[in-house]
Structure 1
Amino acid sequence: MGHDRRPPKRPVNLSLSEELVREARGLTPNLSDTVEALLAEFVAAEKRRRAEADAEVAALVAASNRFIAAHGAFGDEFSTL
């Protein structure tokens, strides 16, 4: 799941620690590319995490629906509907 680096780029404003930026610039020849790569990794990981959470909720709902179909809902015996 690679990040397409060909789309046009635009400047953005970020508020970052001066010291951290200074150190990072000493560790990478291209801070923008490094930050973009790290941001792409974060976006991909967050999308995966959210998809996994959605799948977990869907599985729980399906299990609950199967239980209700087989045994009825907990309060069915008390319902006046």
Structure 2
Amino acid sequence: MTHFDSRALKRPVNLSLNSDLVRRAKDLTSNLSDTVETLLAEFVDAETTRRAETQRQIDALVEASNGFIARHGAFGDEFSTL
């Protein structure tokens, strides 16, 4: 479900990575850049999905709270001087 322009130009970036981890990763893949790009795309998709779900939960809670207040009033209304 990758939602990025896979045809976009590639550009060099500076990253600070553990040198031992990079060495070990290079032993496991013939193209470290493509491997990292794939993993980064998966992370972006997962994080975007997680954040959207969190927002849906917040929206549902606000809607439920607003409905409760509309039916029963807000806690403390009886004490309000406004």
Per the TM superposition, whether the score is higher than 0.5 is: yes
Cα RMSD, aligned residues only: 0.8
Partners of 1:39 and 1:73 in 2: CA distance? 45
Runs of 4+ in 1 over 3 A off after TM superposition: none
Q: Deviations over 1:33-77 (max 9, x none)?
A: 000000000001000010000000000000000100110001110
Higher relative contact order (CA 8 A, sep 6+): 2
Q: Distance in 2 between matches of 1:26 and 1:5?
A: 25
Q: Structure 1: give runs of 5+ residues left out of the alignment.
A: none
Unmatched tracts of structure 2, length 5 or more = none
Partner of 2:29: 28
Q: CA deviation at 1:5?
A: 2.1
TM-score, length-normalised on structure 2? 0.94
